[in-house]
């Protein structure tokens, strides 16, 4: 196991008609874990799955993608469900999370990740429900000095009853992270009416060594202390669906960073702009390919390499 993810695993129901829904395995950390595994990196997942029919499907999907499930607990509580309605610019979600298996993740003893695990990613709606939110926070903070941490807020405003409280919690989550990946929508929720560069600077002051802000089809921006921002656009593709794009981008970041030997905070800080450009380019290509099909369906390593070769031709 080289990369681990902690958080929710759920079923996304996307509308093919007014009330004709098609189910897909989802949840931001689940999507990212699948993406990492398909990109060829040994990946583990930490969560709690229901024993209901959805939970069985979720577990089967993790196993089918070669994900290490030794830290997946089981519960008789129901699975989390999400219903997604597409809009021209983004997606609108309705979540059913009350008393569900992943939101009740609260082991008495925190998992002990193997030393081979160099990155841990956390974030998303798993941080919005107790008791999982508090226990995940404790788990992430326990990783300090053991491995690098990526925080992806992946916020869903409809699930946040108190935005001011969520912003205060973000301060603690940012302090636990070495790298932050967020969307421009996350940034505006965190600090309304502020420029992306200002939001990134605020985040960097909390402790992370780099902040990447994605902007959909406009690409991504990298911010680091005492360095000029770096911007990269993804290769053009025919978009079928944007579900899972940000999750796949985050996975691409981790895979590309690991391949460049970034497995310590010092190595992350020392990474040069040229290497960061290659990292962002890889992540952008992976996310772009995910957008060419329905639901969160991350690409394989071969597909990403082929797209990059095509872009270079």
Exposed, middle or buried by CB within 10 Å (0-12, 13-18, 19+), for 195?
A: exposed
Q: DSSP letters along the chain, please?
A: --EEEES--EEEEEESSSS-EEEEEE-HHHHHHHHHHHTT--EEEEEEEESSHHHHHHHHHHHHTT-EEEEEEEESSPPEEEEEEE-SSSEEEEEE-TT-TGGG---SS-----TT--EEEEEGGGGSSTTHHHHHHHHHHTTTTTSEEEEE----GGG-S-HHHHHHHHHHHHHT-SEEEEEHHHHHHHSTT--HHHHHHHHHHTS-SEEEEE-GGG-EEEE-TTS--EEEPPPP---S--TTHHHHHHHHHHHHHHHTT--SHHHHHH--HHHHHHHHHHHHHHHHHHTTSSSS-PPPHHHHHHHHHHHH-
CA-nearest of 267, 263, 237 to 3 is 263
Q: Any idea which residue has 């300090």 for tokens?
A: 144
Distance between CA atoms of residues 180 and 101, nearest Å: 27
CA pair distance 72, 102, nearest whole angstrom: 10
Res 84: pLDDT = 78
pLDDT tens digits for 149-197?
Answer: 999 999 988 889 899 999 999 999 999 999 999 999 999 999 998 999 9
Q: What is the pLDDT of residue 242?
A: 84
Predicted local distance difference test score (pLDDT) of residue 66: 98
Tell me the CA end-to-end span of the chain in Å, nearest whole number.
Answer: 35
**178, 119, 190: which is closest to 153 by C-alpha?**
190
What does the pLDDT read at residue 247? 97
Dihedral sign from CA coordinates of 179, 93, 127, 203: positive
Half-sphere exposure of 35 toward its Cβ, with a 13 Å CA cutoff? 38
Residue in this structure with the two tokens 């973000």, named with its chain if needed: 170
Tokens 């869903």 correspond to what residue? 156
Per the structure, the complete domain to which residue 188 belongs is given by 3-312
User: How big is the CA angle at 159 (ends 241 and 186), to the nearest 5 degrees?
Assistant: 60
Which domain CATH number covers 136? 3.40.1190.20
Question: For the chain (length 313 residues), average pLDDT per consecutive 10?
Answer: 97 78 91 98 98 98 98 98 73 86 97 97 95 98 96 92 95 98 96 95 97 93 95 88 92 98 97 97 96 90 94 78
CB atoms within 10 A of CB 30: 28
Among 156, 30, 31, residue whose Cα is nearest residue 83: 156
pLDDT at 12: 87
pLDDT of amino acid 89: 57
Q: How many domains does the chain have?
A: 1
């Amino acid at each position: 196991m080289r990369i681990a993810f902690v958080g929710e695993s759920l079923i996304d129901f996307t509308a093919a008609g007014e009330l004709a829904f098609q189910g897909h395995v989802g949840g931001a950390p689940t999507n990212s874990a699948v993406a990492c595994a398909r990109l060829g990196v040994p990946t583990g997942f930490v969560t709690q799955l229901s024993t209901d029919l959805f939970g069985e499907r979720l577990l089967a999907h993790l196993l089918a993608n070669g994900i290490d499930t030794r830290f997946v607990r089981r519960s008789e509580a129901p699975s989390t469900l999400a219903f997604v309605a597409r809009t021209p610019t983004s997606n609108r979600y309705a979540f059913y999370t009350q008393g569900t298996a992943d939101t009740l993740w609260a082991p008495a003893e925190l998992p002990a990740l193997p030393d081979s695990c160099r990155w841990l990613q956390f974030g998303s709606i798993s941080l919005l429900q107790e008791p999982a939110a508090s226990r995940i926070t404790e788990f992430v903070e326990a990783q300090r000095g053991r491995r690098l941490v990526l925080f992806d807020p992946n916020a869903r405003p409809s699930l946040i009853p108190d935005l001011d409280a969520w912003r205060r919690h973000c301060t603690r989550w940012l302090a636990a992270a070495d790298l932050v990946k967020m969307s421009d929508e996350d940034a505006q929720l965190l600090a309304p009416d502020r420029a992306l560069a200002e939001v990134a600077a605020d985040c960097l002051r909390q402790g992370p060594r780099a902040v990447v802000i994605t902007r959909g089809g406009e690409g991504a921006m990298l911010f680091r202390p005492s360095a000029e921002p770096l911007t990269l656009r993804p290769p053009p593709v025919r978009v079928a669906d944007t579900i899972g794009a940000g999750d796949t981008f985050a996975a691409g970041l981790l895979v590309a960073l690991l391949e460049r030997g970034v497995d310590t905070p010092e190595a992350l800080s020392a990474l040069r702009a040229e290497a960061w450009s290659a990292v962002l380019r890889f992540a952008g290509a992976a996310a772009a390919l995910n957008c060419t099909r329905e639901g969160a369906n991350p690409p394989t390593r071969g597909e990403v390499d082929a797209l990059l070769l095509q872009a270079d031709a």
